[in-house]
Each structure stands twice: as C-alpha cells, then as structure tokens.
Amino acid sequence: MSLATPRDADGRAMLGVLGLGSAAELFDQVPESIRLSGALSLPGPLSEPELLAHLEELAERDLHSGKAPCFAGGGIYDHYSPAAVDHLIQRGEFLTAYTSYQPEMSQGFLTAMYEFQTLVSRLYGLDVSNTSLYDAGTGLAEAALLAYEKTRRDRIVAANAINPRYLECLRTVLGPETSSDLVEIPPKGGLTDLQALEAALDDSVACVIVQQPSALGTIENLPAVVEAARRVGAKVVVCADPIAMGILQPPGEAGADIAVGEGQPLGLPMSYGGPLLGLLATTKDFVRILPGRVVGATVDRNGKRGYVLTLQTREQHIRREKATSNICTNQGLCALAATIYLCLMGPRGLRRVASLCVTQSHRLRAGLEGTAFRPLYKAPFFREFAVESPLPVEELQQRMGEAGFIVGSDISALTGVENSLLLAATESRTDAQIDAFVSALKGVA
C-alpha cells in the first residue's frame, strides 16, 4: 500500500482522544529550562547540485583507499572487486539481505544461495555449508557451540593468535558461565605453541581453534594441530581466510571438522568495517545442528529441479530453547556478492590473487630491510606481517596519513611488543605504491 500521511483533521482527532488542545501540550512534562527556544542556527538550503558538491568536498577530507593506498590488515582488506559484482547485486531481483521464506517465489535467489553453499564447501574442503552468518566472529562462536553440542565436553582450547575481535565475540557468546573453560594458548615465534597446546589437551576438550593464516599473518601448521587434537578426541575448528585458500591447504583436507571465515575479501568493500560476511562449513556429522539457513535441492511433482529451505530447526519454527541458532536473517546480499566474485574468478583467478598477495607482501617486507621498522617473526606469512615501529603507532598513523598512506592498527596487546602493528599488501598494491610507501616510512622514522 502507498504511504498515507496524517492530515490536519487526523491530528486534531488524535489530540482529542488524548484530551489535548495542541501538539505543544504533548511536551508539558519537559521542563522549560531544557526546551529549545527559537530556531536552530543552521545554514540555508542548498540545491541538489550544490548539496552534492558540498558532500563531495566533505568526503575528500577523509583519508580513504580511493586516494590513499591502504596497507592496513587485521581482518579487513583492500582487495579488488570486479565491476560486475556490484552491478549484478543491484538487480531488483537480488537487492535484499534476506534469505527468502517462500521458495516458490524465490527460485533465482535460492539457486544463488545453493551455489554459495557449494562454493564455500569446496573452498574449505568440507561437506556442507549454510547460507552465511553475520561475520567471522559470530561464525567462530557458532563453531564452538557446535563442538560443545557434538562432544558434550566443556573446555575449548584456542590459539591466542586469533583476531582479538573474534575471540571477544567467542567469549561473549560462551557467557560468564563457560568463559572459564576457554583456554588460550600464547603464540611462540608468531605461531601456535604446539608444546603448550598439547599440554593443555585432555579428554575434557571439545575443540581446538586456530586461525589460518594467524592474526599475526603467519601460516600455521594445521596438520600438527589436527594430530594433537585427534589424540584426545577433540574437534578442530579453523578460522580460514578465503583468499588464502587459493594456495594453502583447505582445512577439510588437513583434517579439520569445522571451518569458518570472513568473506569480506570476496568482492565486498571495506566500508569502514562492515557489513561483513560469515562463512561456515562442516563435515556431514554436523548437518543436523548446523546454525543459520540451509538451501537444499529437490524435485517438484513434475520432476523439475527446485530449491527450498531445508533443515529449518530455527527459532521461527520451533521453541526457542530447541533452536540450533538465533540468526533471524543472514548476510544474503553479501553472500550473493561473494558467489559472483568466486564465479568470476574461478580456481585459477583465486590462485592468482592469492599468489599476488604473497608476492606483494614479501616485496614490502624486503623493502623494510635496513630500516627502523623491524619485522617481529621469521615464520612464513601470507598477506601481512607484524613489525615493531620506532614511533608510537598512533603517531605513525597520523604522519603516514599526511603522506597519503593508510597503515594498520596497534597490535601491541597481541604481540607483547610495544608499538607493533600489522602491514598488509594485497593484489591491489602496485610495485610503485609499495616503493613509495617504504620511502614514506623511511621519511617519518
């Protein structure tokens, strides 16, 4: 129906029901001393072209990746997204964040979500996937709950070299009644300390959680982590970067039970940190308790293939306490963007992007040799690496911003080294940009 705004007569009728003579009487309870008297001091109106020019002028004051090469990492990355991604997700049939409730009306979108599930499962080398979660942090929390449910054990062992925001989400979801059962393993040399990990494992551990690559950019030894977990019958959860899967061993092939990840690098802009896209894939053992929505393929009575929402043990359909998750809608539009991105790239394209990330980030690190910026770890890395800055990170951010570059955030709490930060280089960074960035770093140190 069209919008029908209230008329003056409607307003008078509503005031009459309330026993009031004017709209001003609605505010009689507000003290006169804090009421606004007179008009606000605002500039006059602008025409549409004038307003657009004014907003563009304001936007240019920001330091954004459109004019300043971004070397920040830490979970959000400046990857290139083909123009077709943004164009296709804006089609009227697709422009929604919801997974549709009426399959007979939504075959196109459900087909795309089925493809998304297939792509995520193949990306991570696992059997099943859902139609997405909110972000990697919520995905990690859901994965821990899956392990709790499956094993009925009450301890979780997590590598400390996991994105701090993901760990914070995990602690929040587990709640105060279980947070004492979360054991965090400090890194050693930028990697999970395998000896400390093995010492923390026993038959009360539900799962072991690691990130690949780690939050420090280093490449973890997944087979060793899996082997240690298997000795005590614990499940393995890997928070895996989807771009890195272009060249690294998928979690499923390494023996992991559950993989989660942040889908932002798959065609989504950085957008000041959101919206994001949670990826989740598991072995078949978890299919009945998988959180979120799952699209399945079937045939109608005429034998034609169709797609439906299946395994709907969600809070809308059954009692809340029996639901497998509380996610009411997913990141459908973001999931669609990731689907289009992966289809456009294909395996060879994804491998090429991942290889360029390795090449450009190692070029950046090589350029820092002999400077005051000291790399913290010698372990292999994928797209980013930790360095110690000779300046406070906040001062470095400001001075590099003035030079026209974006650098990463302070990770001193994670590394234990004062004034440490991550530097990242994706396929979007050219050789010239990297060389200019290194020169700028030398100039401010």
pLDDT digits (tens, 9 = 90+) for 150-185: 999 989 999 999 999 999 999 998 887 555 589 999
CATH number of 83-341: 3.40.640.10
Own/partner contacts of 394-401, CB < 8 Å, gap of 24 or more, are 396/421, 396/444, 399/444, 400/440, 400/441, 400/444, 401/63, 401/68
For residues 384 and 269, give the distance between their C-alpha atoms in angstroms, rounded to a whole number.
18
Domains 83-341 and 346-444 share a fold: no
Distances (CA, A) of 217 to 188, 190, 220: 13, 8, 9
Q: Would you kindly state where each structural domain of the chain is located, as residue ranges?
A: 83-341, 346-444
What backbone phi and psi angles, to 5 degrees, belong to 213?
-60, 165
239 neighbors 261 (Cβ within 8 angstroms): yes
Cβ contact 307:131 at 8 Å: no
Return the pLDDT at 101: 63
Give the pLDDT of residue 319. 66
Listed in sequence order, the residues at least 6 apart from 102 whose beta carbon sits closer than 8 Å to its beta carbon are none
Q: Which regions in the chain score pLDDT beneath 50? A: none
CA 77 to chain centre: 10
Q: Which residues pair with 393 in a beta bridge?
A: none
Task: Give the pLDDT confidence of 208-246 residue by residue, as tens digits.
Answer: 999 999 999 999 999 999 999 999 999 999 999 999 999
242 contact partners, CB below 8 Å, separation of at least 6: 123, 261, 262, 263, 265, 266, 279, 338
- Region for residue 99 given its phi and psi (left: phi exceeds 0; alpha: psi -120 to 50; beta: otherwise): beta
Instruction: Count CB-CB contacts under 10 A for residue 274.
Output: 15
CA atoms within 13 A on the CB side of 403: 21
User: What CA dihedral angle connects 398, 401, 407 and 413, to 10 degrees?
Assistant: 10
Q: What is the pLDDT of residue 104?
A: 66
Amino acid at site 123: L
Task: Render pLDDT for 380-426 as a digit per residue (tens, 0 to 9).
Answer: 999 999 999 999 999 999 999 999 999 998 999 999 999 999 999 99
CATH classification number, 346-444, choose in 3.30.70.270, 3.90.1150.10, 3.40.710.10, 3.20.20.140:
3.90.1150.10
Measured between alpha carbons, how far is 228 from 433 in angstroms, rounded to an integer?
Answer: 42
